[in-house]
Amino acid sequence: MCAPERRPPLSARAQRGLSIIELMVGIVVSLLVALAAAGSATVFTASQRQGMGSGGAMVNAGTALAALKNDASAAGLGFFGDSRYLCSRLNLSLGASMVTDGSAFAPVRITTEAGGDRVDVVYATQVASGTNVLLAAATAGGSAALKSLLPAQLGDAVLLAPPTPGDPCVVRSVTAITPSTPTSPQLLNFDGPGQHNQVLFTTPVTYAEKSRATLLGALRWSRYRLDGTNLLLERPLEGASAVLARNVIGFRAEYGISAAAAGSTTLDSWQAASGAFAAVDATTLPRVRALRIGLVTRSPQREKPNAAGQCEASSAKPQLFGATVEPDVTDWQCYRYRPVELVVPLRNLVWGVKA
């Protein structure tokens, strides 16, 4: 007879560890879990990049339009008075450089370029620029005797405008101030090395008595345009520029115009910078009531095609103002696009010509 098999105590069996089969099963299960987690992490990371790219493009577009709105809403401040547009032409210098020499001038202008529209806005930074005062005596631009007090300080820019539109306005910098007395008017001097005093124009003007003087404070000129797919903000007077938004494939603007030349605050239609409005002037500018501005941004992250190898991120090309914007990539269906539009009332133009 065989002796009965003796089994080791339970404590001894627990100390033997895992069998090779159990170990292999554990390793396989761990590998499967790791592979599943890695795949999920890859998909999540790609989705996160796409979401961040689309969200970042939207934030950039919103920031750019907010900056443009602030500039455009101030356009024209300082260039209107007595319910009329004061300056259809302008003499302007900066240091020793000529900026405009009697050229046609408008404080808001849309220019059609090959890469998209360009928007220029010019305005004064001084709140008092909404009003102007009369000259007490004729001047050739070297000084200005005023019939009313102008709260100017040294270095401020002052606009001299003729009594009737036609001759150029001129921008001068204050270099000295003689206060008024009971028998003499306030006198502003523009001699010396002021910012806007150092150039002789080929179209000088003698401003007769009862011409207008407006306190500009500082003259601000902002330009928005596309450089490739970068939306730039340029300051031509300062020689500075900055990128406001990237991956912008479309930038367009239109004038909101009134059927009446003046005296009306209605907006009747939208007009591109073409035809009679290709270059706004003393006739067309008083009809402008607002700007409509739009841009299209493209997501920086290309999305993967489907199982059939076809991209499904976009099924149609983006549009602005009812017109198609051509993408800057051939595989445009693999990207997402975000059109954004903004309407900016031009209050200085509206109230500047309102009777």
What's the CA angle centered on 141, arms 210 and 161, to 5 degrees? 45
pLDDT, greater one: 298 or 10:
298
Cα atoms in the 13 Å half-sphere on the side-chain side of 234 = 14
Using one digit for the tens of pLDDT, what is the confidence trace for 320-353?
A: 999 999 999 999 999 999 999 999 999 888 887 7
Confidence of residue 83 (pLDDT cuts 50, 70, 90): confident
pLDDT for 52 equals 46
Distances (CA, A) of 88 to 118, 244, 317: 20, 31, 40
Among 282, 244, 288, 249, residue whose Cα is nearest residue 266 = 288
Give CA–CA dist 235/108, Å, rounded: 14
Mean pLDDT to the nearest integer, 160-177: 92
Mean pLDDT to the nearest integer, 53-64: 64
Using one digit for the tens of pLDDT, what is the confidence trace for 226-279?
A: 999 999 999 999 999 999 999 999 999 999 999 876 566 788 999 999 999 999
344 Cβ contact partners less than 8 Å away, ≥ 6 residues apart: 68, 69, 72, 73, 290, 291, 292, 293
Phi and psi torsions of 188, nearest 5°? -105, 130
On the question of pLDDT at 225 being above 50, the answer is: yes
SS3 94: strand
On the question of pLDDT at 60 being above 80, the answer is: no
- In this structure, are strands 176-178 and 186-189 parallel, antiparallel, or unpaired? antiparallel
Confidence of residue 124 (pLDDT cuts 50, 70, 90): very high
pLDDT for 16 equals 58
pLDDT, greater one: 225 or 192:
225
Lowest-confidence pick of 124-128, 145-149, 174-178: 124-128
245 Cβ contact partners less than 8 Å away, ≥ 6 residues apart: 57, 60, 61, 63, 64, 230, 231, 295, 297
Report all structural domains of the chain as residue ranges with CATH numbers, in order of start: 54-84+107-122+221-355 (no CATH), 126-217 (2.40.30)
Instruction: Provide the mean pLDDT of the chain.
Output: 86
Buried b (16+ CB within 10 A) or exposed e, 76-104: bbbbbbeeebbbbbbbbbbeeeebbbbee
pLDDT for 104 equals 92
On the question of pLDDT at 81 being above 90, the answer is: no
On the question of pLDDT at 57 being above 80, the answer is: no
Quote the percentage of the chain above a pLDDT of 70: 85
Question: Running DSSP on this structure, what letter comes out for residue 276?
Answer: G
Confidence of residue 297 (pLDDT cuts 50, 70, 90): very high
179 Cβ contact partners less than 8 Å away, ≥ 6 residues apart: 186
Task: Please state the pTM of the whole predicted model.
Answer: 0.81
Using one digit for the tens of pLDDT, what is the confidence trace for 203-222?
A: 889 999 989 999 999 999 99
Q: Would you tell me how many other CB atoms lie within 10 Å of the CB of residue 245?
A: 26
Q: What is the 3-state secondary structure (H, E, C) of 18-32?
A: CCHHHHHHHHHHHHH
In the block, which residue shows the tokens 């050739």? 140
On the question of pLDDT at 53 being above 50, the answer is: no
* 183's tokens: 């028998």
CA dihedral of 140, 352, 89, 133, whole degrees rounded to 10: 0
On the question of pLDDT at 5 being above 60, the answer is: no
Phi and psi torsions of 251, nearest 5°? -145, 115
On the question of pLDDT at 48 being above 60, the answer is: no
In the block, which residue shows the tokens 């602005």? 320
pLDDT for 42 equals 57
Question: In the chain, which ranges are continuous DSSP H helix?
Answer: 10-14, 20-73, 347-352
pLDDT for 352 equals 78
On the question of pLDDT at 51 being above 90, the answer is: no
Mean pLDDT to the nearest integer, 2-8: 58
* 230's tokens: 């970068």
Using one digit for the tens of pLDDT, what is the confidence trace for 20-31?
A: 776 677 777 777
Measured in whole angstroms, the distance separating CA 207 from the mean position of its chain's CA atoms is 35
Burial label for 252, CB within 10 Å (0-12, 13-18, 19+), is: buried
